[in-house]
């Protein structure tokens, strides 16, 4: 019997005990009247019987219900057991699957670990490769620079070799002996000395019926030899009215023979050396435009542009007409295009020049470019405007312009400056002296278009106070030899050029004649054999000497 049956039996016994028949004691306590009534007792017993039957039925029903519930419970227990067994089975299956998955998981983890190791290895190799690439790039750039330097050096050596050959002096230049130079200067007498510097000495001489300037370089110094070859290389290749003319050279003495320019250097004239009169503002503007023209010519020269490298008033000479000529090409250079930058420049580890006029970028980097000349040109312009020394001159002009008081720094010994023009020129000068070469103006595109109109407006230097003694107050020439006058323009020739017809003309006049398509001589009307012109150095020197003598006679 299960637990529910035992509980039902116990409940039934309890009810039977509570419904038991009355005992003898109970009978003794009963009312006598009741004992006398058998029917009543029988009814009580019958009632008790019915009660017990009802109780029995209830017990049986309860037992039957409990049995049914027990059967149902057994069924549910079986079902639950089956489900429990199923879940155990599923659990075992899942456990087994999980174990399999855990085992399989080790393979991807192993592969991932291997992949991480491979990735780490590849990353290390990549870093090493990148370092190697960077190292190779640096080495490549170094080799490329060395190659470029070697190519430039080889080209420079080739150019120098070509230029220093005997034929390189040109058809109009000559080679002189040391004996000729000694005779021309009375054995380099001090009375013939007209200049002294670190490069050597300059003497005035009379050579082959022409007054010349003879520069004796320090032959014992490496710089002296380099300067000699460089000046010959440049001046035998370039010709311009505002460049000093190289007549010849004496290789055995490292001497150079130039045309003689009687008015000396611009530096001396700005300082009024030997009690010379101050240059007028018209002459100064004329000089600014002439030097700008010379620089444009040098920088545009082909096949190789030329950079002067030491532009300053001391290296600008003035002829008898106060025509300015750029001289001293000892540290000038032909520019070779760099395959690294694509720009034309000259590189040196030892920058040379005059500090106050020297391009700061050239001094810092050793890169000599046309913009280096532009910087020096700007300082030179300020010297012409103010007459002051170059030290702190840029800041002085800049402060004066910012205050609107440029007139306070102008050199008033030059006369009454036209303020509008001079302010334009001062601003150009400041732009030329910008620290960064990229910020400096282009001389041909930006500067010349401003200066050219001023050049046309300014009177010719021939009409300045210094030369009115020759041409007179009425501007008409007096006592000037006819062969000093250009057959075309009938003015005294400043840049005498001989044409194919054998006649000598002013350079601008004959070039303009030829540019207009004329192919016949202006003097003879005969057909010209060619359009070439060559400087008539002898006539040019004669004109200068005559004008200088006239000036000295009138003073």
Is 310 annotated as catalytic? yes
Distance CA 105, CA 120 (A): 22
Angle 401-406-409 from CA coordinates, rounded to 5°: 120
Would you say how long the chain is, in residues? 555
Residue 476's φ and ψ, nearest 5 degrees, are -100, 135
Q: What DSSP letter does each residue of 278-343 carry, written as one string? A: PPPHHHHHHHHHHHHHHHHHHHT-SSS-EE-S--SGGGEEE-TT--EEE---TT-EE-EE-TTT-S
Neighbouring residues of 386: CB distance < 8 A, sequence distance ≥ 6:
393, 396, 397, 409, 410, 411
Tokens of 33: 């009247």
Q: List residues bridging with 211 in a β-sheet.
A: 206
Catalytic residue among 310, 328, 495, 501: 310
Distance CA 240, CA 486 (A): 18
Which residue in the block uniquely carries the two structure tokens 């005035």? 204
Contact 395, 403 (CB under 8 A): no
Q: What DSSP letter does each residue of 102-136 carry, written as one string? A: HHHHHHHHHHHHHHHHHHHHHHHHHHHHHHHHHHH
Distance CA 437, CA 263 (A): 33
Distance CA 499, CA 523 (A): 11
Q: Active-site residue numbers?
A: 310
């Amino acid at each position: 019997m299960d637990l529910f049956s035992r509980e039902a039996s116990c409940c039934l016994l309890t009810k039977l005990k509570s419904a038991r028949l009355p005992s003898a004691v109970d009978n003794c306590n009963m009312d006598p009247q009741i004992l006398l009534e058998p029917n009543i007792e029988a009814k009580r017993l019958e009632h008790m019987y019915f009660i017990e039957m009802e109780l029995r039925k209830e017990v049986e029903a309860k037992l039957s219900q409990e049995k049914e519930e027990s059967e149902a419970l057994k069924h549910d227990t079986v079902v639950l057991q089956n489900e429990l067994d199923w879940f155990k089975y599923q659990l075992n299956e899942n456990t087994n699957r999980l174990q399999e998955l855990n085992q399989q998981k080790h393979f991807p983890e192993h592969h991932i670990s291997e992949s991480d190791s491979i990735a780490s290895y590849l990353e290390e190799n990549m870093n090493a490769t990148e370092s190697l690439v960077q190292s190779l790039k640096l080495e490549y750039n170094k080799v490329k620079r060395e190659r470029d330097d070697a190519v430039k050096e080889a080209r420079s050596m080739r150019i120098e070799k070509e230029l220093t050959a005997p034929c390189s002096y040109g058809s109009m230049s000559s080679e002189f002996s040391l004996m000729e130079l000694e005779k021309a200067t009375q054995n380099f007498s001090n009375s013939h000395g007209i200049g002294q510097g670190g490069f050597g000495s300059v003497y005035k001489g009379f050579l082959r019926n022409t007054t010349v300037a003879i520069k004796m370089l320090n032959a014992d110094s490496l710089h002296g030899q380099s300067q000699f070859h460089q000046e010959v290389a440049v001046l035998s290749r370039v010709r311009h009215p505002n460049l000093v003319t190289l007549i010849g050279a004496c290789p055995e003495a490292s001497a150079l023979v130039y045309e003689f320019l009687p008015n000396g250097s611009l530096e001396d004239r700005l300082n009024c050396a030997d009690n010379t009169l101050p240059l007028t503002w018209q002459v100064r503007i004329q000089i600014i435009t002439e030097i700008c023209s010379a620089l444009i010519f040098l920088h545009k020269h082909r096949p190789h542009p030329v950079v002067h490298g030491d532009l300053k008033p001391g290296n600008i000479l003035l002829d008898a007409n106060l025509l300015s000529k750029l001289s001293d090409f000892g540290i000038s250079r032909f520019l070779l295009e760099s395959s690294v930058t694509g720009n034309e420049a000259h590189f040196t580890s030892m920058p040379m020049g005059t500090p106050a006029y020297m391009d700061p970028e050239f001094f810092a980097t050793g890169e000599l470019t046309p913009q280096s000349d532009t910087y020096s040109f700007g300082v030179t312009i300020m010297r012409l405007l103010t007459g002051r020394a170059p030290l702190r001159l840029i800041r002085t002009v800049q402060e004066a312009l910012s205050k609107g008081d440029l007139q306070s720094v102008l050199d008033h010994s030059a006369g009454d400056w036209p303020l509008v023009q001079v302010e334009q020129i001062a601003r150009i000068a400041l732009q030329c002296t910008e620290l960064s070469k990229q910020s400096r103006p282009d001389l041909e595109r930006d500067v010349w278009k401003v200066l050219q109109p001023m050049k046309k407006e300014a009177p010719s230097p021939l009409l300045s106070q210094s030369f009115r003694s020759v041409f007179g107050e009425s501007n008409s020439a007096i006592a000037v030899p006819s062969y000093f006058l250009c057959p075309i323009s009938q003015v005294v020739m400043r840049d005498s050029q001989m044409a194919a017809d054998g006649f000598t003309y002013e350079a601008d006049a004959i070039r303009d004649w030829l540019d207009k398509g004329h192919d016949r001589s202006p003097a003879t009307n005969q057909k010209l054999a060619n359009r070439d012109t060559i400087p008539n150095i002898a006539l040019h020197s004669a004109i200068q000497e005559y004008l200088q003598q006239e000036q000295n006679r009138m003073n």
